């Protein structure tokens, strides 16, 4: 019964959300329904699918939030044209991406991050050949093998409903023109960077002595942290390439 409620509540209420984090919160409720379904079957196959589902959903969810953080970082050099929506945001400086409409057309700003987010969303939906498909397939297979036909049918229907709000994110990313433009105040700015020595001490360091020639760069040369982009690349590759090692 609890898995049935989780599947319906997460799928139906997710359709009404216009904030990304709330949408992910309700989608988590829907995924918990799949997890509870695996636990309620209580067989060897269902326990294996339960563990696998938790692992794949955890890394996919981690990837989704890292991508949202990366989108926020990459938009600091842009100005949001829809001022009414932007001004209504709470804590917009610390959390610049809050509304689904704010990722509209982001593919034209950073296609690599947009494609990574799309792959992660496809994993949430359960579209083959992404890892989320194998996780849902394992649970549905265990349910059908143990006579839980009605629950398997409900899980499939709610997955289709949930795909509605997930695909809306895909539509916003790829099929709309972006609402951003580069901040005109950065057009003629030259930034200066210094390479700090290994024995860096913030109390007595003199930036002028770090190296003979400072590094000059433009605001356009600012990129996402390599550790963050590397983590997103590895997790996204794992999500999409799992088809080559489809083992429990």
Q: What is the pLDDT of residue 148?
A: 86
In this structure, what token pair is assigned to residue 193?
């960077």
Q: What is the pLDDT of residue 203?
A: 55
| Measured distance CA(245)–CA(248) in Å, rounded | 9
Q: What are phi and psi of 225, to 5 degrees?
A: -50, 135
| Measured distance CA(149)–CA(211) in Å, rounded | 70
Q: Counting every residue, how long is the chain? A: 248
Give the number of other CB atoms < 10 A from CB of residue 207: 11
Average pLDDT per 10 consecutive residues for the chain, totaling 248 residues: 76 81 87 89 89 93 91 75 56 68 85 92 91 92 89 89 88 82 68 63 54 62 77 92 73
Q: What is the pLDDT of residue 163?
A: 87
Q: What is the pLDDT of residue 115?
A: 93
Q: Supply the pTM of this predicted model.
A: 0.81
């Amino acid at each position: 019964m609890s898995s049935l409620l989780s599947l319906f509540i997460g799928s139906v209420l997710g359709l009404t959300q216009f904030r990304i984090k709330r949408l992910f919160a309700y989608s988590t409720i829907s995924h918990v329904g799949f997890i509870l379904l695996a636990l309620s079957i209580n067989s060897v196959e269902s326990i294996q699918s339960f563990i696998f589902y938790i692992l794949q959903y955890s890394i996919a969810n981690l990837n989704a939030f890292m991508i949202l953080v990366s989108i926020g970082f990459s938009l600091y050099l842009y100005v949001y044209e829809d001022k009414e929506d932007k001004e209504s945001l709470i804590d917009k400086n610390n959390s610049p991406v809050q509304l689904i409409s704010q990722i509209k057309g982001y593919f034209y700003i950073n296609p690599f991050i947009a494609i990574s987010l799309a792959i992660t969303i496809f994993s949430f939906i359960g579209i083959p050949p992404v890892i989320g498909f194998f996780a849902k397939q394992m649970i549905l297979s265990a349910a059908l093998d143990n006579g839980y036909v009605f629950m398997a049918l409900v899980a499939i229907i709610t997955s289709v409903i949930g795909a509605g709000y997930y695909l809306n994110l895909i539509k916003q990313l790829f099929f709309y023109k972006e609402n951003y433009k580069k901040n005109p105040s950065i057009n003629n700015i030259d930034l200066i960077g210094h390479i700090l020595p290994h024995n860096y001490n913030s109390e007595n360091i003199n930036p002028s002595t770090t190296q003979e020639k400072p590094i000059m760069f433009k605001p356009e040369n600012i990129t996402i942290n390599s550790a963050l982009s590397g983590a997103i690349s590895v997790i996204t590759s794992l999500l999409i390439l799992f088809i080559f090692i489809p083992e429990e």
